[in-house]
């Protein structure tokens, strides 16, 4: 029998995926019982599930245009292509994000430049500005695990240097910043709806922008150069089609997401309340500080990150957490994939080693690229230090106030004992 403080069973879940229920099952069943058109564009005068999803996402986020595609990585590639980013261009990305972020940059033929994070666990504005070169075309800021980055500072730097700003909101669906959805004030933004995200259809992504020309280009990126979205784009100029990927979203996945979107506000209200309750019960600590959150009201509430002052206290802290039944983990030691956690830049082997699908060394050796970016596994020491000292608690929508109360009591006890 568990002798620790945490005695109540802890519901398992990753972000919001455990919210799938009868609504999603009914939506898919209804669609498949009358499969007149399973293509993403409605053919009988009605909106398809994809089109209905895109309309509701625009209404919710304030983006003028949205496009449902097959993955979050694909959505990022649409963001980049939308603003003509490609061979010869550098795109700055943070050292802490899933490898999909720099992979999307490589996919369009551009060069990822890795910058430090700070105690927000997001892009460090100071190092961001240091990494800008004459070849820098864009910045991808990532709102990790539902927490907004230092968006005001980063937006100001991008405006100062005339850089395209893309927000990777793949882990932050529903997060807001200063009262507006994350991404809505940037040039473009992306969601991921794979199995481990806030809302899910198993696999999918959404590209969003309010720039009509960028949207048309993003559509062509997703659809082999065919404008199958089937809606009139108002404003800007007409863009002639070009051939790129084939990453259209599908209506079955969209039907699931339409049900998920309706649940989003309720899910986030619950997790945000859990996180506020947790912090309201924490006692002051001399051993750690919470992750900096630029806008606590906009935080999705799925994650608590604590940055420990002394790395030598991590081991006893985790040992005591196990004794108390507290599901605390060290961020740098989370091994989700062979070769290490692919959210940490030093494990991005294909990027660090500049692996190319061709002998020509594309995109790093593309003749259009005049820069010289080099990568090493210790190139971001500030990020490595912060991540090495960070411990994490994850919340999900099945957790209750009792779970949170026990977590807080256990952490307070551990803090005194280390």
Q: Measure the CA angle with vertex 205, ends 204 and 211; round to 5°.
A: 155
Per-residue pLDDT of the chain in tens (418 residues, 90 and over written 9): 468 999 999 998 766 656 789 999 999 999 998 766 788 876 666 788 999 999 999 999 999 999 999 999 999 999 999 999 999 999 999 999 999 999 999 999 999 999 999 999 999 999 999 999 999 999 999 999 999 999 999 999 999 999 999 999 999 999 999 999 999 999 999 999 999 899 999 999 999 999 999 999 999 999 876 665 645 566 556 778 888 888 999 999 999 999 999 999 999 999 999 999 999 999 999 999 999 999 999 999 999 999 999 999 999 999 999 999 999 999 876 555 555 789 999 999 999 999 998 888 999 999 999 999 999 999 999 999 999 999 999 999 999 999 999 999 999 999 999 9
> Distance between CA atoms of 359 and 147, rounded to whole angstroms?
40
CA 350 to chain centre: 20
> Distance between CA atoms of 274 and 391, rounded to whole angstroms?
18
> Distance between CA atoms of 169 and 183, rounded to whole angstroms?
7
**In the prediction, which pLDDT does 370 show?**
97
**In the prediction, which pLDDT does 140 show?**
99
Pick the CATH number of 22-260 from 3.40.640.10, 3.20.20.70, 3.90.180.10, 3.40.50.300: 3.40.640.10
**In the prediction, which pLDDT does 230 show?**
47
* 416 backbone dihedrals φ, ψ, rounded to 5°: -70, -35
> Distance between CA atoms of 229 and 87, rounded to whole angstroms?
27
Residue pointed to by tokens 């720099």: 102
- 3-state class of 361 per DSSP? coil
- Distances in whole angstroms, Cα of residue 322 to Cα of each of 205, 347, 407, 411: 36, 27, 12, 11
**In the prediction, which pLDDT does 237 show?**
67
What's the per-residue H, E or C state across 101-122? Answer: HHHHHHHCCCEEEEECECCCCC
Annotated domain spans of the chain = 22-260
User: What pTM value is reported for the model?
Assistant: 0.95
Residues in the chain: 418
């Amino acid at each position: 029998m568990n002798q620790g403080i945490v005695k109540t069973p802890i519901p398992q879940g990753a972000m919001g995926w455990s919210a799938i229920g009868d609504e999603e099952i009914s939506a898919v069943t209804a669609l498949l019982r009358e499969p007149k058109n399973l293509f993403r564009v409605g053919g009988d005068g009605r909106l398809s599930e994809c089109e209905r999803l895109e309309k509701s996402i625009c209404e919710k986020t304030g983006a003028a245009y949205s496009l449902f595609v097959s993955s979050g990585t694909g959505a990022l590639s649409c963001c980049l292509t939308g603003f003509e980013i490609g061979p010869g261009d550098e795109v700055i990305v943070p050292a802490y994000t899933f490898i999909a972020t720099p992979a999307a940059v490589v996919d369009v033929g551009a060069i990822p430049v890795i910058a430090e994070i700070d105690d927000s666990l997001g892009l460090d504005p100071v190092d961001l500005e240091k990494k800008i070169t004459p070849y820098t075309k864009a910045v991808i800021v990532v709102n990790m695990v539902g927490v907004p980055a230092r968006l005001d500072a980063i937006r100001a730097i991008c405006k100062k240097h005339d850089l395209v700003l893309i927000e990777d909101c793949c882990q932050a669906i529903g997060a807001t910043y200063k009262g507006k959805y994350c991404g809505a004030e940037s040039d473009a933004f992306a969601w991921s709806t794979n199995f481990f995200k806030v809302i899910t259809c198993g696999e999918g992504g959404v590209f969003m922008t309010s720039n009509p020309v960028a949207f048309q280009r993003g559509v062509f990126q997703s659809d082999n150069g065919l404008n199958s979205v089937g809606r009139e784009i108002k404003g800007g100029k007409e863009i002639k089609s070009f051939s790129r990927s084939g990453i259209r979203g599908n209506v079955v996945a969209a039907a699931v997401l339409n049900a998920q979107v309706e649940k989003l506000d309720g899910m986030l209200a619950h997790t945000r309340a859990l996180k506020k309750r947790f912090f309201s019960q924490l006692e002051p600590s001399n051993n750690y500080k919470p992750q900096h959150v630029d806008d606590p009201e906009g935080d999705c509430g799925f994650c608590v990150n604590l940055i420990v002052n002394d790395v030598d206290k991590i081991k006893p802290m985790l040992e005591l957490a196990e004794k108390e039944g507290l599901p605390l983990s060290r961020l740098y030691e989370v091994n989700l994939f062979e070769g290490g956690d692919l959210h940490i830049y030093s494990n991005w082997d294909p990027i660090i080693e500049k692996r190319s699908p061709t002998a020509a060394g594309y995109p790093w050796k593309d003749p259009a690229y005049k820069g010289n970016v080099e990568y090493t596994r210790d190139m971001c020491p500030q990020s490595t230090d912060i991540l090495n000292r960070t411990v994490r608690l994850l919340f999900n929508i099945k957790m209750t106030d009792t779970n949170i109360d026990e977590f807080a009591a256990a952490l307070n006890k551990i803090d005194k004992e280390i």
